[in-house]
Amino acid sequence: MLNKKSVDDINVKGKKVLVRCDFNVPLQDGKITDENRLVAALPTIKKLIADGGKIILCSHLGKPKGEPKPELSLAPVAKRLTELLGQEVKFAADPEVVGPNAKAAVEAMNDGDVILLENTRYRAEETKNGEAFSKDLASLCDVFVNDAFGTAHRAHCSNVGVTQFVDTAVVGYLMQKEIDFLGNAVNNPERPFVAILGGAKVSSKISVINNLLDKVDTLIIGGGMSYTFSKAMGGQIGNSLCEDDYLQYALDMMKKAEEKGVKLLLPVDNRIGDAFSNDCNIQVVRKGEIPDGWEGMDIGPETEKIFADAVKDAKTVVWNGPMGCFEMPNFAHGTEEVAKALAETDATTIIGGGDSAAAVNILGYGDKMTHISTGGGASLEFLEGKELPGVAAANDK
């Protein structure tokens, strides 16, 4: 079990605290269109304010590729955080992130003040975990707090490199929550433990399938990746998504499931279309009976029932990846039914970020889930059983 020091284990009174947040929010014409990530960061920031720290926030935003790009400045985030916190979050605008403005702003801070640095990816070293920028960041602070789960699977200056040059590196509340829920689900689940995987590709979830087969009682596979399994079993899949390099892998995983006594549920029927479009002709066919010129776009109605039944009596459910092309309303039904089944079960339900998190929120089931992860890639690596560099870098208890 991961046992990392958190903001509850340190005294920050009068200390300069650098907090790595995940403020990678969608922007349109300089306006934040989804502020979930800002809201999720507030508990840690408020705790540090209440404890009398001098709080220096930092984050990346988008991919400026190592140079200042005004449209990817964190200035709008400072403005919105000021409103959300009800106190000024001073924006320290330095093109080199840690420059004269940031240094002067830190020098001028009183206990309980909050400032925000510029987009860490304005610096080319950030994503290479380079020493110079790691040292620059560390030079601003006495204590480092990592609360950015979304980038925990990457080793960058602002979440890993910096910890080499500070004495104290701990996790924030958001990070702690992710570690607790995902860690518990994977390593110490209440059973029956059901995992649901979907999305486009088998290849992006190879290690997840393999690792989860060692942990779960039931593994459900839907979405685009299920057609590789269907073809491997000799089915006709028409123009459906398929990765021919993974046919043998699919068979190996089916064998592994059988050997481990894991119930592996694959679609028994599919909604198919004669073009990759919401307005195409649609029909429902049995698995492995997709005619030429048609492609699998969603799971079918019988599959929806089987998948929903499987989560009814579960005690822990983890879900990552949509059941079909849910962005097209005519092929969102399978994903909606799975979301509904999760909303209705008494099990601990954990949504592994990305598309499934978006789907659950759009459908209005967000508050019915036990935990919705803030990191798509990071939660997938967690499910793979990998050690996340951003988590590993924090001090152990």
296 part of the interface to ligand AMP, by CB under 6 A: yes
8 part of the interface to ligand AMP, by CB under 6 A: no
Q: Can 238 be counted among the known catalytic residues?
A: no
Q: Can 90 be counted among the known catalytic residues?
A: no
Name the residue nearer to ligand AMP (CB basis): 161 or 199: 199
Q: Can 201 be counted among the known catalytic residues?
A: yes
300 part of the interface to ligand AMP, by CB under 6 A: no
- Determine the Cα–Cα distance for residues 200 and 350; give it in Å rounded to an integer: 20
* C-alpha angle 243-249-253 in degrees, rounded to nearest 5: 125
Name the residue nearer to ligand AMP (CB basis): 200 or 362: 200
Q: How far is CA 262 from CA 139, 249, 258, in A?
A: 51, 17, 6
- Could you tell me the two tokens for 254? 């089916």
223 part of the interface to ligand AMP, by CB under 6 A: yes
327 part of the interface to ligand AMP, by CB under 6 A: yes
Q: What is the x/- site pattern for ligand AMP, positions 306-325, by CB under 6 A? A: ---------------xx-xx
Element (H, E) at 40: helix 36-50
Identify whether the C-beta of residue 59 lies closer than 8 Å to the C-beta of residue 24: yes
- Which of 161, 238, 354, 390 is an active site residue? 354
- Which of 103, 128, 135, 201 is an active site residue? 201
- Which of 112, 130, 377, 385 is an active site residue? 377
Strand ranges across the sheet with 114-117: 89-92, 114-117, 54-58, 16-20, 143-146, 168-171
Sole window of 13-21, 127-135, 193-201, 242-250 interacting with ligand AMP (rule: CB under 6 A) = 193-201
Q: What is the DSSP string of 327-352?
A: TSGGG-HHHHHHHHHHHH-SSEEEE-
Q: Can 172 be counted among the known catalytic residues?
A: no
CB of 282 to ligand AMP, least distance (A): 13
Amino acid in position 243: E
* SS3 of residue 150 by DSSP: helix
Active site (catalytic) residues:
37, 201, 354, 377
Residues near ligand AMP, by CB under 6 A = 199-201, 204, 223-224, 241, 296-297, 321-322, 324-327, 354-355
